[in-house]
Amino acid sequence: MSAKEFIPQNIVNTIKLKRCSDSDDYSILPLLIELNDVAYYYVHYKKSDRYLIIRRDGKIPNLEEAKPVIKMAAFFVAVSHAFENHGKDWAESNTVKVYSRVLSLLNKLESSLAKSESHQLNNLLHSLKKMAKTVIEQQRELQNVVERGTNHINAAVNKKVTTQDRVLLEELQTQLLKCVYEQNNVQLETYETRKKALKLIRKELSFYKIRSWLAYLELKTHYQRMLSRDKLSYEELRDKEIVKKRISGKSDPDDERVIKSIISKTINPK
């Protein structure tokens, strides 16, 4: 569907009539929200910061009818931002490269320390290799989820979206959050393990194994860049708990505040 077909002239005329002034520019969500077999446009007037919900047939519904449309439209705006901005940045990060290198360094050190009789060190190295593999696996899953979510959103431009689209994107968004949460959490949970491992590796390494010492120093640098609880701010700890709750299906209070704010600025008749 072309942009002209997506927004007929009679809809544009109605939208213009509701402006506060000729300079009150507007934007239209490039999706038709379909609920109960009725399609709606979601309009934002930029200068006056007001909203309007208008049916495909040109009629303006009352506010009660418009509320579910507002909630669904706000979700699509938020999920598009999540995938096309945050998701894209996360997917394009060098996480796989970095943790593949960490895994390689651990394998080199494990080989160099093969004759070590320290069972504790062997267990620590095993745990850290598992951590690196987990981050890599979650990053590849994240890249797949971002691609699926972005493709679905792009395919919906200038078309109708339904509750089925919302359910699918909610599932993908939850999976995206899970991947990020698992990557961060496994770093936080292995902080003490990393400290102990570095201490034991330094103790066990032979002074003459130059390459092993170089591997140790590089590994130490990587570990210093990883997450630890003492590096997290109050806001970051709060965000971590919010993400955990969202993964479990609980709503975000910030989302609810945004919805209430939009409804309060919506000019559909009460």
Contacts of 149 (CB under 8 A, 6+ apart): 79, 82, 83, 87, 169, 172, 173, 176
Cα angle 107-129-119, degrees, rounded to a multiple of 5? 80
Residue 64 or 4, more confident: 64
Q: What would the two tokens of residue 46 be?
A: 């930029």
Q: Is 206 contained in some domain? A: yes
Q: Are residues 55 and 165 in the same domain?
A: no
Contact (CB, 8 A) for 212 and 202: no
Please, what's the largest Cα pairwise distance for the chain? 82
Q: Are residues 115 and 164 in the same domain?
A: yes
Tally of CB atoms within 10 A around 161:
23
Q: Is 126 contained in some domain? A: yes
Stated length of the chain: 270
pLDDT value, residue 248 = 86
Confidence of residue 106 (pLDDT cuts 50, 70, 90): very high
Query: What pTM value is reported for the model?
Result: 0.88
Q: Is 32 contained in some domain? A: yes
Q: Is 269 contained in some domain? A: no
Instruction: Write down the H helix ranges in 52-189.
Output: 63-81, 88-91, 95-112, 119-155, 163-189
pLDDT value, residue 3 = 53
Confidence of residue 220 (pLDDT cuts 50, 70, 90): very high
The pLDDT mean for the chain works out to 93
Q: Are residues 51 and 137 in the same domain?
A: no
Q: Are residues 143 and 243 in the same domain?
A: yes
Does residue 202 surpass a pLDDT of 70? yes
Q: Are residues 49 and 89 in the same domain?
A: no
Q: Is 270 contained in some domain? A: no
Q: Are residues 118 and 160 in the same domain?
A: yes
Q: Are residues 53 and 82 in the same domain?
A: no
Contact (CB, 8 A) for 69 and 39: no
Q: Are residues 114 and 24 in the same domain?
A: no
Does residue 245 surpass a pLDDT of 90? no
Does residue 116 surpass a pLDDT of 80? no
Full domain range(s) for residue 30: 3-61
Does residue 239 surpass a pLDDT of 90? no
Q: Are residues 40 and 80 in the same domain?
A: no
Q: Which of 15, 33, 61 is the last residue of a domain?
A: 61
Structure confidence by residue, pLDDT tens digits, 148-191: 999 999 999 889 999 999 999 999 999 999 999 999 999 999 99
Q: Are residues 28 and 145 in the same domain?
A: no
pLDDT value, residue 90 = 95
- Residue 85 is classified by DSSP as I
pLDDT value, residue 6 = 81
Q: Is 191 contained in some domain? A: yes
Q: Which of 61, 91, 111 is the last residue of a domain?
A: 61
Q: Are residues 114 and 168 in the same domain?
A: yes
Q: Are residues 188 and 159 in the same domain?
A: yes
Identify the bridge partners of residue 43 per DSSP, sorted by sequence position.
28, 52
Q: Is 15 contained in some domain? A: yes
Q: How many domains does the chain have?
A: 2
Q: Is 24 contained in some domain? A: yes
Q: What are phi and psi of 195, to 5 degrees?
A: -60, -45
